[in-house]
Structure 1
Amino acid sequence: MNIDDLRTRLPAGAVVNDPDILAGYRQDRALDPAAGTALALVRPTDTAHVATALRWAGEHRVPVVPRGAGTGLSGGATAQNGALLLSTERMRAITIDTVTRTAVVQPGLLNAEVKRAAADRGLWYPPDPSSFEICSIGGNAATNAGGLCCVKYGVTTDYVLGMEVVLADGTVVRLGGPRLKDSAGLSLTKLFVGSEGTLGVITELTLRLLPPQPPQSTVVATFRTLPAATAAILAITGALRPSMLEFMDAVAINAVEDELRMGLDRDAAGLLIARSDAPGDHAGREADRMLTACENAGATEAFRTDDPDEGEAFCAARRFAIPAVERKGPLLLEDVGVPLPRLGELITGIAEIAERRKVVVSVIAHAGDGNTHPLIVHDPDDADETARAHEAFGEIMDLAVALGGTITGEHGVGRLKKAWLPGQVGPEVMDVTRRIKAALDPHGILNPGVVL
């Protein structure tokens, strides 16, 4: 396919087909081994450029793979042979309205940049994936990303009030806006958030902002057994709504301690980090209740701190868990979730799968909402271990679904998990999904192979 015509329609430098540059955009953090070779990379700076690229792609039936910062963990931004890679990294405008408490942002901004811009105006953007410093706000919307504070404050979709999106034929659609209440028509913004680039390319988001988060009180507790840790989790969530409730297993604890040397208990089977940001003295009271719940569940050590730096140090340790475990070897990374009462069964079941398949599986979790991240360590050069790792990957998803859960809480289905989606949602939902896809993208050019 000759892309010279596309070059003439877009600004100089917007279309790149240098093989060395394309190689850097070939995979996301899932490192999908089935990644192909793209036809070209398109880096637009505004909505009109995106519309032009999609019209050209539609005319020539060229697939388009939208891409943010490339931090996705399910293969949703994997290059396909002969496709256009459409990167939104150069779309970085932002405006903040303190009266409506909204931010209008382009998708190339990082989550951390949106947070900082909001903070500079005395406001707060809550969704906080562990990768918030490197993931893009457009990618967050495409996967409906969550994070550490979503147990209390919700996920990305809860903060998207409106958007501009370009459909497969280049049509530009504006949905919603800076209105806290709007019941006009179908809730189409909810349709596009989490659609992983299969229905359209998001080129602008209107985000709801909140007043600054109150000071937090932090509880840290270690446990000798996984059942004791999960008992503490259920006791806490059954009594109150923490602003954070995170879990790390023994593998993650030791991996983090290897790197950070912060005195974590290497003999612990589990570590909980819980926080309360209730106003006034209530944060301390809630923290004390969480501390008591941990002690009653059999914590070997538990303490509370109101020092923001000390509390943040433990949160940083939790955020560092994935890269710390990754240093033990390449990962197959999941984000299965279950209803909270089944969390203990999921965590112990994952441990049994790891033992049976003879692979290392570390479990970290947004424990307060039942969303776990099993990290399967394997050597891709060892064919037998790789096979066992992939068997464990599938068995963990099967386990989550059997427990009434989901194959993905926040990372998306992508290409790596789509084989397990029908087993979760059923044939009727899959049929509806295909009909929606066909209506908005009749030629199937948007992110082919993702979800469906």
Structure 2
Amino acid sequence: MTVDVERALAEVLPAEAVITDPDVLAAHRRDQAEWASSGMPRVLVRPASTSEVQAVLRVATALRVPVVPRGAGSGLSGGANASDGCIVLSLMRMNRILEVDRRGMLAVVQPGALNGAVKAAAAEQGLWYAPDPASWEFSSIGGNLATNAGGLCCVKYGVTGDAVLGLEAVLADGTVVRTGGRTVKNVAGYDLTRLFIGSEGTLGVLTEATLRLRPRPPKATTLVAAFPTLVSAGTAVCDIMERSRPSVLELMDRTTVRAVESWKPMGLDVTAEALLIARSDAGGVQGEEELALMVAACERAGATSVMSTADEAEGELLMGARRFAFPALEQRGATLLDDVGVPVVRIPELLAAVERIAQKHGVLIGTFGHAGDGNMHPTVVFDRKDPEAQARAKDAFDDILHAALALGGTITGEHGVGSLKRGFLGAQLGPETLRLHLAIKGALDPLGLLNPGKVL
């Protein structure tokens, strides 16, 4: 069977696009989710065009071989992890920015294009691509689409799906479909664009995206406030969101702040229990008023210090501190990164629950995230060499998911379900909605070949 698959793929793809080297296969068997299981792929393919993706899927369907689509491998839920004997379909050779339409304010890109490259191409035309996951410098647009990635600016500008006008996708049998278009409004038929976004490669392979661009926002003013408790910081978040619309509103707890300051010293207040980093990009008088509202909200919540800067370099330094949060925690041990979302008004309750969970299991949890939209990343840090510590970390991770659901939230805000949280999806969706998901999957991928073992 192995020979048949390799031979069939070699007949429809250039020689350099079919890889069987064991070391290369091992390097493409998983994403960044350390705890998510992964198998060994049979072969890696690197198509360079939509027609080559079609050819791969036709072979896979004919021979009944599972296919795992893959972008840059920067995912955090096991969504790109291989299953034993599968075809890993890497889209990173399809990395062209096909068009940037300045007047139409859109870009047409292939899935392997990096988020940062799209931002740069838009900037050359005086425009801005808003979605900005923390991995924007190295994550691919295809991966961002697969998980409906968020980021720091989504509190004001929305997640990846809010910047997508249309898609091209290849279905499991090799059929090419196009959804949406180039218009901002489009309600002709079902919203298939939204269906594919966030589907984590289980419904089709995305091969092209038409993305909405925006005018560059004015230069931002950045605020940082220190708080004596996590709950008081959460209270400030609720107040800020009730009165204004910041372009960024991020939270870091004491554990995270200390980890960042230890790894990348920048003068952060390591005595505070929490820091809030907020930005206004409204500009002019409106920006000044928005900043004043945020300062007042922090003071009402009991902030021990509040400072702001209009200096772009200082602002970027503070934003860098937030972007360093996860890698800084990784310096302290193995990590289990959670990605939960709750209604903004329930952030204080979530933060309190995380503190209780850390105490209950005797584990270190660094909490940071996109406080402005309720999407937080409690990160359990543990000794990977200690089996008991691993077990306690896993129990804490699961308890955080249960806590989010109990607060009317979600098990994932932006990283996706993948294989890591597959067992929790039913608890969030309920049996009827889960059956609807399975029916959609069955209609588009009747043989179950696309990214098996993920999401559902």
TM interval, shorter chain, is over 0.9
Separation (CA, whole Å) in 1 of partners of 2:317 and 2:21: 42
* Counterpart check, 1:91 vs 2:87: no
Secondary structure in 1 aligned to 2:75? coil
What is the identity, as a one-letter code, of the residue corresponding to 2:12?
A: R
CA apart distance, 1:73: 0.3
Task: Give the equivalent residue in structure 2 for 1:315.
Answer: 319
Q: 1:378 aligns with which of 379, 382, 386?
A: 382
Secondary structure in 1 aligned to 2:351? helix
Separation (CA, whole Å) in 2 of partners of 1:392 and 1:259: 25
Contact 2:127–2:216 (CA<8 Å) still a contact in 1?
yes
Secondary structure in 2 aligned to 1:372? strand
Task: Give the equivalent residue in structure 2 for 1:234.
Answer: 238
**Residues 127-185 of structure 1: CA distance to partner in whole angstroms, max 9, x if unpaired?**
00011111111100000001001000000111110011000000011112211111111
Task: Give the equivalent residue in structure 2 for 1:190.
Answer: 194
**Residues 167-220 of structure 1: CA distance to partner in whole angstroms, max 9, x if unpaired?**
000001111221111111111000000000000000000000000111111111
CA apart distance, 1:291: 1.0
**Residues 319-375 of structure 1: CA distance to partner in whole angstroms, max 9, x if unpaired?**
110000011112111110100111111011011101111111111010000000011
Separation (CA, whole Å) in 2 of partners of 1:445 and 1:253: 43
Question: Matches of residues 322-361 of structure 1 in structure 2 within 5 Å?
Answer: 322-361=326-365
Contact 2:41–2:83 (CA<8 Å) still a contact in 1?
yes
What is the identity, as a one-letter code, of the residue corresponding to 1:277?
A: D
Task: Give the equivalent residue in structure 1 for 2:31.
Answer: 28
Structure 2 length normalisation: TM-score?
0.98
Separation (CA, whole Å) in 2 of partners of 1:426 and 1:441: 22
Q: 1:162 aligns with which of 139, 149, 166?
A: 166
Separation (CA, whole Å) in 1 of partners of 2:140 and 2:64: 28
CA apart distance, 1:379: 2.1
Separation (CA, whole Å) in 1 of partners of 2:37 and 2:264: 34
Contact 1:438–1:444 (CA<8 Å) still a contact in 2?
yes
Task: Give the equivalent residue in structure 2 for 1:222.
Answer: 226
Q: 1:9 aligns with which of 2, 7, 12?
A: 12
Contact 1:32–1:78 (CA<8 Å) still a contact in 2?
no
Task: Give the equivalent residue in structure 1 for 2:141.
Answer: 137
Contact 1:331–1:376 (CA<8 Å) still a contact in 2?
yes
Task: Give the equivalent residue in structure 2 for 1:37.
Answer: 40
CA apart distance, 1:33: 5.2
What is the identity, as a one-letter code, of the residue corresponding to 2:421?
A: K
Separation (CA, whole Å) in 1 of partners of 2:231 and 2:397: 23
Task: Give the equivalent residue in structure 2 for 1:72.
Answer: 75
Q: Greater shift after overlay, 248-257 or 220-229?
A: 220-229
Contact 2:69–2:90 (CA<8 Å) still a contact in 1?
yes
Task: Give the equivalent residue in structure 2 for 1:108.
Answer: 112
**Residues 70-125 of structure 1: CA distance to partner in whole angstroms, max 9, x if unpaired?**
00000000111000000111101111011211100000011111000000111000
Give ranges in structure 2 of 5+ residues lacking alignment. Answer: none
CA apart distance, 1:308: 1.0
Separation (CA, whole Å) in 2 of partners of 1:213 and 1:68: 29
Q: 2:436 aligns with which of 426, 432, 436?
A: 432
* Counterpart check, 1:295 vs 2:263: no
CA apart distance, 1:32: 3.9
CA apart distance, 1:69: 0.4
Separation (CA, whole Å) in 2 of partners of 1:434 and 1:405: 22
Q: Greater shift after overlay, 3-12 or 404-413?
A: 3-12
Structure 1 length normalisation: TM-score?
0.99
What is the identity, as a one-letter code, of the residue corresponding to 1:46?
A: S
Separation (CA, whole Å) in 1 of partners of 2:149 and 2:163: 11
Question: Matches of residues 266-277 of structure 1 in structure 2 within 5 Å?
Answer: 266-277=270-281
Contact 1:288–1:304 (CA<8 Å) still a contact in 2?
no
* Counterpart check, 1:367 vs 2:368: no
What is the identity, as a one-letter code, of the residue corresponding to 1:207?
A: L
What is the identity, as a one-letter code, of the residue corresponding to 2:312?
A: P
What is the identity, as a one-letter code, of the residue corresponding to 1:349?
A: A
What is the identity, as a one-letter code, of the residue corresponding to 2:327?
A: P
* Counterpart check, 1:392 vs 2:374: no
**Residues 30-83 of structure 1: CA distance to partner in whole angstroms, max 9, x if unpaired?**
024521110000111110110100000000110000000000000000111000
Give ranges in structure 1 of 5+ residues lacking alignment. Answer: none
Q: Which runs of 4+ in 1 moved over 3 A?
A: none
Instruction: Tell me how many residue pairs correspond in the alignment.
Output: 452
Separation (CA, whole Å) in 2 of partners of 1:345 and 1:362: 16
CA apart distance, 1:251: 0.7
CA apart distance, 1:399: 0.5
What is the identity, as a one-letter code, of the residue corresponding to 1:63?
A: P
Separation (CA, whole Å) in 2 of partners of 1:446 and 1:348: 39
Q: Greater shift after overlay, 299-308 or 25-34?
A: 25-34
* Counterpart check, 1:81 vs 2:107: no
Separation (CA, whole Å) in 2 of partners of 1:13 and 1:365: 41
What is the identity, as a one-letter code, of the residue corresponding to 2:340?
A: V
Task: Give the equivalent residue in structure 2 for 1:56.
Answer: 59
Secondary structure in 1 aligned to 2:128? coil
Secondary structure in 2 aligned to 1:199? coil
Separation (CA, whole Å) in 2 of partners of 1:349 and 1:404: 14
CA RMSD of aligned residues (A): 0.9
CA apart distance, 1:231: 1.4
Task: Give the equivalent residue in structure 1 for 2:289.
Answer: 285
Secondary structure in 2 aligned to 1:315? helix
> Identity over aligned residues, as a percent?
55
Separation (CA, whole Å) in 2 of partners of 1:99 and 1:237: 33
What is the identity, as a one-letter code, of the residue corresponding to 2:305?
A: E
Secondary structure in 2 aligned to 1:135? coil
What is the identity, as a one-letter code, of the residue corresponding to 2:151?
A: G
Contact 2:232–2:348 (CA<8 Å) still a contact in 1?
no
Separation (CA, whole Å) in 2 of partners of 1:341 and 1:331: 28
Contact 2:150–2:158 (CA<8 Å) still a contact in 1?
yes
